Amino acid sequence: MSSISIIGLGNMASALADRALAGGNAVEIIGRDPAKAKELAAALGGATVGTAGAAPAGDIVILAVPYASAAAVVSEYGDDALQGKVIIDITNPVSPDFQGFVTPDGSSGAQEIAKAAPAGAHVVKAFNTLFSHVLAAGPAEGRLLDVFIAGDDAQAKTRVSAFIESLGLRPMDTGQLAMARSLENVALLQLGLVAHSVKHTNFFLGVSILS
Ligand SMILES: NC(=O)c1ccc[n+]([C@@H]2O[C@H](COP(=O)([O-])OP(=O)(O)OC[C@H]3O[C@@H](n4cnc5c(N)ncnc54)[C@H](OP(=O)(O)O)[C@@H]3O)[C@@H](O)[C@H]2O)c1
């Protein structure tokens, strides 16, 4: 069992919180609007409500906010509140025309967020390649959904992998945090598929391991 704090109250926050509760994890919901946070926690059942800007209760903190707000949110909580936490970055820093990224060349959203995090926190990229409704629905047609992860700290990735398994999903480690760039490109690839071939968002990309 993991202890999770989710910052954000949107589609990804509710899908992650719902699966996390079903997986037996302790879940804290944190939003900038306390009334909305209480409403979501009540709808989920079993989640607690945290205070925006205060130290999150969870050992794992999921940033479920738009990329544009993510680094500012990390700075707002500050070094003391996030010291020692595993921070999961689920964002996709895609440009408004869906053709590229708003991050500096050679970097990624996760690496930019890591710059804002305290030295004693560990950023792990995860969940950015699963559409929220696909995540909410869970295993599809007998196949586990793959959650690609990337991060520099092996222990942090082990903890995130255990959390992912508790959601009934399959963690797939892709390497160091610099691989987040590739994972964010996978999200861009998915948007290209939506626009040009699949034409809807009810799909996921996963690994088929052949014997
Ligand atoms: N939707 C998907 O299928 C999907 C898939 C993979 C990854 N992602 C990524 O997941 C993240 C969340 O996406 P979403 O679809 O859940 O978005 P969403 O439904 O629009 O929810 C975003 C949430 O972020 C909160 N927020 C925004 N700025 C904030 C700030 N400065 N401080 C605190 N909270 C703030 C919003 O708060 P208010 O409610 O107060 O406005 C809202 O609750 C994004 O980075 C997105 O790229 C999304």
Judge whether residue 38 has pLDDT over 90.
yes
Q: What pLDDT is attached to residue 12?
A: 98
For 64-102, write each residue's pLDDT tens digit: 999 999 999 999 999 999 999 999 999 999 999 999 999
Residue 32 Cα: closest atom of ligand 1: 33
Q: Give the residue whose CA is nearest to atom 30 of ligand 1.
A: 69
Query: Tokens in use for 139?
Result: 């295993």
Q: What pLDDT is attached to residue 195?
A: 97
Residue type, 184: E
Phi/psi at 51 (nearest 5 deg)? -105, 130
Residue type, 34: P
Residue 14 Cα: closest atom of ligand 1: 16
Question: What is the pLDDT confidence band of residue 153, given thresholds at 50, 70 and 90?
Answer: very high
For 2-22, write each residue's pLDDT tens digit: 999 999 999 999 999 999 999
| Ligand 1 pocket mutation pick from 18, 29, 30, 32 by most atoms within 8 angstroms of CB | 32
The full set of domains in the chain, from first to last, is 3-196 (3.40.50.720)
Q: What pLDDT is attached to residue 141?
A: 85
In this structure, are residues 32 and 52 in contact, taking their beta carbons and an 8 Å threshold? Answer: yes
- Around 89, how many Cα atoms within 13 Å sit in the side-chain half-sphere? 34
Q: Which amino acids bring their CB within 6 angstroms of ligand 1?
A: 8-13, 31-33, 36, 64-67, 69, 72-73, 90-92, 128, 130-132
Phi/psi at 44 (nearest 5 deg)? -75, -40
* Cα(169)–Cα(166) distance, integer angstroms: 7
For 154-178, write each residue's pLDDT tens digit: 999 999 999 999 999 999 999 999 9
Q: What pLDDT is attached to residue 83?
A: 96
pTM of the model: 0.98
Q: What pLDDT is attached to residue 53?
A: 95
Q: Give the residue whose CA is nearest to atom 44 of ligand 1.
A: 66
Q: State in Å: Cα 43 to ligand 1 middle.
A: 18
Judge whether residue 27 has pLDDT over 90.
yes
For 94-142, write each residue's pLDDT tens digit: 999 999 999 999 999 999 999 999 999 999 999 999 999 999 999 888 8
* Cα(209)–Cα(203) distance, integer angstroms: 18
Burial (0-12, 13-18, 19+ Cβ within 10 Å), 145: buried
Question: Which residues face 49 on adjacent strands?
Answer: 29
For 176-194, write each residue's pLDDT tens digit: 999 999 999 999 999 999 9
Q: State in Å: Cα 64 to ligand 1 middle.
A: 5
Which one, of 148, 61, 75, 71, lies nearest residue 103 by Cα? 71
Q: State in Å: Cα 10 to ligand 1 middle.
A: 5
